Chain A
Amino acid sequence: MPDPNHDEQPALAVEHIGVEFGKGPRRLRAVQDVSFEVATGRTMAIVGESGSGKSTLARAISGLVPLSAGSVTVRGKDFTRPTRAQRRHVQMVFQDPYSSLDPSSTIGSSLAEPLIVHERMGRRDRGERIKELLDSVGLPQDAAGRFPHEFSGGQRQRIAIARAIATRPEVLILDEAVSALDVSTQNQIMGLLNELQEQHRLTFVFISHDLGVVRWLGDQTLVMYMGHAVESGPTERVHSQPEHPYSQALLSAMPVPDPSVRALRGRTLLRGEPPSPYESPRGCIFASRCPAVIDVCHTVLPPVRTSAAGGTSICHLETSGSFAPVLQTQA
Chain B
Amino acid sequence: MSATSGPLHGERPRMGWLSRAMSSRSTKRFTANRPAVVGVVVLMTLVLLALLGDSVAPYPPNSQNLDETFLAPFSSGHLLGTDNLGRDVLSRLIAADRVALFAAATAVVVAMVVGIPLGFIAAYFGGWVDVVVQRATDALQSMPPLMLAIALLGAVGPGLTNAMIVIGLVFSPAFLRLVRASVLEIMSEPYIEASRSIGTPALRLVLTRILPNALPPVLVQVSIVMGIALIAEASLSLLGLGVSPPDASWGLMISQGYNFLYQQPWLVVLPGITLALAVLALNLVGDGLRDSVGRGGDTGGDR
Query: A154 with B191: in contact, given A64-B196, A105-B208 (CB under 8 Å)?
Result: no
Interface membership of A270, Cβ < 8 A:
no
Q: Contact between A145 and B300 (Cβ–Cβ < 8 Å)?
A: no
The answer, yes or no, to whether A99 is at the interface (CB within 8 Å) is yes
User: Are B10 and A144 within 8 A (Cβ)?
Assistant: yes
Complex contact B199–A123 (CB within 8 A) = no
Given A117-B201, A185-B302: A92 and B194 interface contact (C-beta under 8 Å): yes
Chain A CB within 8 A of B209 CB: yes
Q: How many A residues face the partner with a CB closer than 8 A?
A: 54
Interface status of B301 (Cβ within 8 A of chain A): yes
Count of interface residues, chain B, beta-carbon cutoff 8 Å = 35
B197 on the A face (CB < 8 A): yes
Q: Which of A124-132, A191-199, A285-293 contacts B (4 or more CB under 8 A)?
A: A124-132
- Residues of chain A touching chain B, judged by Cβ–Cβ distance below 8 Å, are 62-64, 82, 84-85, 87-88, 91-92, 94-114, 116-118, 123-124, 126-127, 130, 142-145, 149, 152-154, 160, 163, 167, 180-182, 185
Residue of A113, A149, A154 touching B198 (CB-CB under 8 A):
A113
> B11 near A106 (CB under 8 angstroms)?
yes
**How far, in angstroms, from A109 to B9 measured CA to CA in the complex?**
10
Which chain B residues border A130 with CB–CB below 8 Å?
A: 10-11
For residue A166, give the distance in angstroms from its CB to the closest CB of chain B. 9
A88: chain B residues at CB < 8 Å are 199
Given contacts A124-B4, A127-B11, 16 further A-B contacts (CB under 8 A): A87-B197, A87-B199, A94-B190, A95-B190, A96-B300, A100-B190, A100-B194, A102-B213, A105-B208, A106-B12, A109-B12, A110-B191, A113-B208, A118-B199, A123-B11, A180-B303
Q: Which chain B residues lie closer than 8 Å to A95 at the CB level?
A: 190
What are 13 contact pairs spanning A and B, CB under 8 A?
A64-B197, A87-B198, A91-B198, A102-B191, A102-B213, A106-B11, A108-B11, A110-B191, A113-B195, A127-B8, A130-B11, A145-B12, A180-B302
The verdict on B297 contacting chain A, using a C-beta distance below 8 Å, is yes
Cβ of B1 under 8 Å from chain A: yes
Give the number of A-B contacts (CB < 8 Å).
Answer: 128
Smallest CB gap from B193: residue in A:
A64
A61 to chain B, nearest CB (A): 11
Against A, the Cβ 8 Å flags (1 = close, 0 = not) of B186-219 are: 0001110111111111001000110011001000
| A117 adjacent to B298 (CB under 8 Å) | no
One of A87, A91, A153 near B301 (C-beta < 8 A): A153
Nearest chain A residue, comparing its CB with the CB of B211: A104
Contact A142-B197, Cβ < 8 Å, known A106-B12, A107-B10, A152-B302: no
Q: Are B9 and A98 in contact (CB under 8 A)?
A: no
Least CB distance, B184 to chain A, in whole angstroms: 15
Asked if B2 CB lies within 8 Å of chain A CBs, one says: yes
With an 8 A cutoff between CB atoms, is B135 at the interface? no
Q: Which residue of A lies closest to B1 (CB)?
A: A142
Interface string of B1-21 (1 = CB under 8 A from A): 110100111111000010000
Q: What residues of chain A lie closer than 8 Å to B199, measured between beta carbons?
A: 82, 84-85, 87-88, 114, 117-118
- Smallest CB–CB gap between A79 and chain B, Å? 12
Interface residues of B in 9-59 (CB under 8 A from A): 9-12, 17
